[in-house]
Amino acid sequence: MGRNHRLAQKGLGVRPGQGTKARQQAARTPLLAEAMRAHQAGRRDEARQLYATVLEKQPRQAEAIHFLGVLEYEAKNYDRAIALMERSLRFPDCDRIAAWHSNLGLALQARGCSAEAIACYQRALVLNEAYFEAHINLGISLYRIGETARAAEAFRRAISLNPQSHVALNGIGMCAMREGHSALSVGYFLAALALAPDYADAHNNIASAYRATGQLKESLHHNLEALRFNAGSPVLHSNYFMGLHYTPGLSLDDIYAEHLRYSECFSGLVAPTLANTPDPERRLKVGYVSPDLRRHPVGFFLLPTLGIRDHDGFEIHIYSDVMDDDEYTERIRSAADHWHRSLGMTHSELAAKIRADGIDILIDLAGHTENNRLPMFAERAAPVQATWIGYFNTTAVPAMDYLIADAQVVPPDGRQRFTEEVVRLPESYLCYALPDYAPPVGPLPAYRNDGIIFGCFNNGVKLNHEVTRLWSHILHRCDGARLFLKTRLGGDAIWRAGMLEQFASHGIAPERLHFEGNSSHGELFAAYNDVDIALDPFPYSGGTTTCEALAMGVPVITLPGDSFVSRVSASILTAVGLGDLVCAGPDEYVETAVRLAHDHERLAELRAGMRERMTASALGNPARFTQQLEETYRTLWRRWCTTVHADHPTEEVV
């Protein structure tokens, strides 16, 4: 449900020795100079001790205070770093040192305080408009809060100062990709790699860009190049795994083997001792961890379960890494018992906090998607740890105990393998609630058009050559039928040209295809009133898009495979009693679409009763779903308690 784009903060400002020459000459003592030399040489323990000695003799030595803050930043002690850097800037003339403001910005950004970091970089640039690193870091911080145009301008200014900056070129490429111009972004990433062939972040980003334009072979090549240059990065592994799921023809065993490589990132971790009371029936503290608690599929699926839970049995803690809060964030915050803003905390800091909060069951809602916290789960933050909603495969984290699914996405007799134990909810593993801004379901479009309108509003990355081949067969079999593709990539001229070329190779004329790009979520719902039948892509099926189509009365036809990611629509359709739209093979997929396209009476009947059909199922009935989820949590907790008592047989089992 996301991509792991990489745009690393530029740390060139965090060097001792940067400041005004007058101040350096007037205030620097031999001991301070020795401390700074040790710092520059990477002897940080020695430097820390020397800075402390300086401050014992000169408590107001601003450089010692500031660069002690830099040491704290480098050690990821961000709160301490911020306090020291802010203190150093309060001394006379120190607020005129551009590098120090930029350093403070780095610490604030690392803590997740983007607005404050941006203000620091802007102050640094007022003092020194030619400060290259401040332009870079300003661009990165603006990018992270969604200010893409301003971020691109900051990167361009950096390039004007240093045309050979691979970091700035990578940044402009990221901005282009966020705006939906994936093909344009490729040029910037290639330029960055021409300057720095071992630049892992640019390899990672160009992999995402190639994936978006359908060049899956090139995408996986650059994923592997990124890992070649930075094999220990969990983020780069995660993005590689995302790409594997878009690629047809890969075996389940091969994908599983690749995931197992991720486990190597956490070799040597020792599980801590946890103090949770092993009482099987007490009120449980359940923690949810996610960067996507907003207008996002994770937010959509989690929110319905929070407001009607068993308050006597469960206390809900949310650990949010959301960068840009929205109305869904506020609704989730209001529905939880405790809200913890974890953005900017290191994985170890967050794990320690979760242990201190006494969380009993900790739920990962991201898997290998962007900004995930899997390294934190690897440190064993809670007795019971499970992954749910955000991903569709194993996390391969040794300390992740369970994967929450259902019998459709992970059949008991299926071939897919997981490092976690699979726990299946009795009906659906998802719960969906229609947002209040969704419009009413309109009449069947086929009654006003000359032919059926097929549609797909999924991510355009999911549309591969095999998908367009089958869809072309369907269009050939349905006179006058057209295909409506609405996706973020619909605004990308090169992607559209590629799609037109693929369909043309199967004899489909351009006038039978209609493309639309981004719109508001409400407008996306309204667009379903122009669609008769939704066609699900494969091997990466829909999830949220399938729920949205059904909620607007549009039946979805799916072709599941053996993998979790290919079976999400099958789970949703089975839950609402539309198992006949889950097809056993390509021929059945085509025949089912053609048969339904010619049955206007059934289409109209489905459209009129679809919302009621959904609310009658666990998928669309939050009370029913949440009871099943909480019963599962209780079962997992009782199992852990039994294990603890088995390890301590002298204790009485409660």
**Average pLDDT of span 386-391:** 96
CA distances from 277 to 311, 315, 642 (A): 19, 15, 12
Nearest of 610, 630, 631, 635 to residue 620 by alpha carbon: 610
Nearest of 430, 629, 442 to residue 547 by alpha carbon: 430
Count of CA atoms in the C-beta half-sphere (13 A) of 70:
28
Work out the number of other CB atoms within 10 angstroms of the CB of residue 398: 17
Work out the number of other CB atoms within 10 angstroms of the CB of residue 79: 13
The answer to whether domain 164-268 and domain 284-425 are alike in fold is no
Question: What CATH code is assigned to 445-615?
Answer: 3.40.50.2000
CA distances from 241 to 7, 182, 416, 559 (A): 19, 20, 15, 22
Residue range 504-518, pLDDT digits in tens: 999 999 999 999 998
> Is 149 buried (19+), middle (13-18) or exposed (0-12) by CB count in 10 A?
exposed
Calpha distance 533→483 (Å, rounded)? 10
Report the predicted TM-score, pTM, of the whole model to 2 decimal places.
0.85
**Average pLDDT of span 336-354:** 93
pLDDT value for 375:
94
Which range has the worst mean pLDDT, 131-140, 240-249, 457-466, 621-630? 240-249
pLDDT at 9 over 80: no
Tell me how many degrees the CA angle 217-223-226 measures, rounded to the nearest 5.
145
pLDDT value for 595:
98
CB 639 within 8 A of CB 280: no
Nearest of 549, 545, 551 to residue 531 by alpha carbon: 549
In the sheet with 513-516, reading across from the earlier edge strand, the strands are 513-516, 482-486, 453-456, 533-535, 556-557
Residue range 516-526, pLDDT digits in tens: 998 999 999 99
Nearest of 60, 70, 66 to residue 27 by alpha carbon: 60
CB 193 within 8 A of CB 199: yes
pLDDT value for 309:
84
User: Six-digit token pair at 172?
Assistant: 């402009």
Nearest of 231, 179, 249, 233 to residue 209 by alpha carbon: 179
pLDDT at 423 over 80: yes
Residue range 587-619, pLDDT digits in tens: 999 999 999 999 999 999 999 999 999 999 989
Characterize 486-501 residue by residue with b for buried, 16 or more Cβ atoms within 10 angstroms of its Cβ, and e for exposed. bbbbbbbebbbebbee
- List Cβ neighbours of 264 (8 Å cut-off, separation of 6 or more): none
Work out the number of other CB atoms within 10 angstroms of the CB of residue 387: 29
**Reported confidence tier of residue 412, pLDDT bands at 50, 70, 90:** very high
**Reported confidence tier of residue 646, pLDDT bands at 50, 70, 90:** low
CB 620 within 8 A of CB 300: no
Bridge partners (DSSP) of residue 425 are 406
pLDDT value for 13:
45
> Is 372 buried (19+), middle (13-18) or exposed (0-12) by CB count in 10 A?
buried
- What is the distance, to the nearest Å, from the Cα of residue 345 to the centroid of all Cα atoms in its chain? 17
Query: Above pLDDT 70, what percent of the chain?
Result: 94
**Reported confidence tier of residue 20, pLDDT bands at 50, 70, 90:** very low
3-state helix, strand, coil in the chain (%, to 5): 55, 10, 35
Residue range 91-128, pLDDT digits in tens: 999 999 999 999 999 999 988 888 999 999 999 999 99
Please tell me the class of the 1-160 domain: mainly alpha
Positive or negative CA dihedral for 233, 237, 242, 247? Answer: positive
CA distances from 493 to 152, 488, 652 (A): 20, 11, 68
User: Six-digit token pair at 3?
Assistant: 């991509």
Q: Is 534 helix (H, G, I), strand (E, B) or coil?
A: strand
Cα distance between the two ends of the chain: 41
Q: Which single residue is written with the structure tokens 């970089």? A: 121
pLDDT value for 2:
36
Name the residue ranges covered by the structural domains of the chain. 1-160, 164-268, 284-425, 445-615
Amino acid 619 reads L
Question: What CATH code is assigned to 164-268?
Answer: 1.25.40.10
Task: State the Rg of the chain over Cα.
Answer: 27
Choosing among 3.40.1010.10, 3.40.50.11380, 3.60.70.12, 3.60.21.10, the CATH entry for 284-425 is 3.40.50.11380
Query: Above pLDDT 90, what percent of the chain?
Result: 80
User: Six-digit token pair at 2?
Assistant: 């996301």
Bridge partners (DSSP) of residue 513 are 483
Calpha distance 413→18 (Å, rounded)? 63
Calpha distance 632→50 (Å, rounded)? 55
Positive or negative CA dihedral for 264, 265, 268, 272? Answer: negative
CB 402 within 8 A of CB 423: yes
Positive or negative CA dihedral for 405, 406, 408, 411? Answer: positive
Calpha distance 522→439 (Å, rounded)? 7
Q: Where are the alpha helices (DSSP H) in 403-552?
A: 465-477, 493-504, 521-527, 544-551
Calpha distance 573→471 (Å, rounded)? 20
pLDDT value for 200:
96
Any idea what DSSP says for residue 261? Answer: H
pLDDT value for 648:
53
Angle at which helices 182-195 and 166-178 pack, to 10 degrees? 170
- List Cβ neighbours of 361 (8 Å cut-off, separation of 6 or more): 284, 285, 286, 287, 382, 383, 384, 385, 386, 633, 636, 637
Count of CA atoms in the C-beta half-sphere (13 A) of 171:
31
pLDDT value for 325:
87
Calpha distance 549→567 (Å, rounded)? 16
CB 489 within 8 A of CB 182: yes
Give the CA-trace dihedral at 64, 68, 74, 80, to 10 degrees: -140
Nearest of 261, 314, 236 to residue 5 by alpha carbon: 236
